[in-house]
Amino acid sequence: MSAPPAGYGDFLLEIKTQIRQRQFQALRAANNELLALYWWLGENISQRQLALGWGKGVVENLARDLQAEFPGRNGFSAQNLWLMRQFFNEYAAKPKLQSLIGEISWAKNLLVMGRCKDDLEREFYLRATARFGWTTKVLQHQLDNHSYTQYLNGQTNFDAAVPDSIKAQALLAVKDHYTFDFLGLAEEHSERELEQALVRNLRSFLSEMGGAFTFVGNQYRLEVDGKEYFIDLLLFHRRLRCLVAIELKIGEFKPEHKGQIEFYLDTLDQQHRLEGENPPIGIAICRGKTKTMVEYALRTMTRPLGIATYTVTPQLPASYRDDLPSPEQIAARLQGWAGSDEA
């Protein structure tokens, strides 16, 4: 076979890119049309029930007739028709959410609609699923782990210390609380025992961290002026394209922890960051923290840092829900996120 002519490789790459883009656009258009159809069905079933007094029996008959006409299309089951009606009724008077539901699939919409009853919570999951391309399985995991609450409660300095281009993803990369119930540790344990147990259960640990992390090493060695220093755990976040230094503390967060982690981040940035990567971020995972102390510590921190808590039993802190921001603060934060989408 003769060698390809000049420019052939670039042309082939351009064709592949176009095919993938058009395939994605076609899938998105098909999804929009399907959701529009389901919305229309839900709207008309709801309206006819009100106007004509239709009961459950009519919807059951409708399902049988549609399935007979379109065999193999399980989207026209009686259960799905009722869900279409609910879909319309839930969002008919909510134009802000209507603009978001078309961005994700029917299956993901059902998860959000079924699991979230608060409009702001729904807005969070709708935006996050569309923005970060969450699969149905990942969305399920995020719902199970209360990511909405953890995102809103999260204590970081990312608003000031992280570039706008990755700020929203960075905020989602750090939870406010981690549950390490898969470790089988006693309530009393050392930092070394905690670290070793996390490494032994690496798959579960990375899943709990959020799914976009890869493991780099534990007791990761740094050297400055001939002296050695060791980071408890070093990860890499694939979407953020940055190293993530994790320090484990079995006690309360203390202000001096900030200086230790900032030193690690400075060293990683100067000696270990590769070309094309974003500056590293830090996460201090402590047994406990006080909100005010963390706020003071982060106020003067120049490197990106998040402070989180952990338990080794499957429970959230008792006051977790009580610490949520006000609805007005939540709406403002989500609106800021929407602005970064448009940018």
Amino acid at position 74, single letter: N
The answer on pLDDT for 342 being more than 50 is no
Q: How far lies 250's CA from each of 16, 26, 286, 301, in Å?
A: 51, 51, 6, 22
SS3 of 61-124: the string is HHHHHHHHHCCCCHHHCHHHHHHHHHHHHHHCCCHHHHHHHCCCCHHHHHHHHHHCCCHHHHHH
Give 83-132 pLDDT, tens digit per residue. 999 999 999 999 989 989 999 999 999 999 999 988 989 998 998 888 77
List of residues 6+ apart from 34 with CB closer than 8 A: 75, 106
The residue type at 140: Q
Q: At residue 341, does pLDDT exceed 60? A: no
Q: How far apart are CA 183 and CA 181, in angstroms?
A: 5
Residues 242/279, Cβ–Cβ less than 8 Å? yes
pLDDT of residue 38: 92
pTM: 0.66
* Amino acid at site 100: L
Q: How far apart are CA 284 and CA 290, in angstroms?
A: 13
Find the length of the chain: 343
- Measure CA of the first residue to CA of the last residue in the chain; give whole Å: 48
Residue 145's pLDDT band (cuts 50, 70, 90): confident
What pLDDT, in 10s, does the model give residues 277-311?
Answer: 999 999 999 999 988 889 888 988 889 999 999 98
Give the three-state DSSP class for 218: strand
Distance CA 294, CA 174 (A): 15
At 25, list the tokens.
Answer: 């656009």
Could you give the 3-state DSSP secondary structure of residue 186? coil
CA atoms within 13 A on the CB side of 141: 13
pLDDT tens column, 172-223: 788 888 889 889 888 899 999 999 999 999 999 998 887 689 999 999 999 9
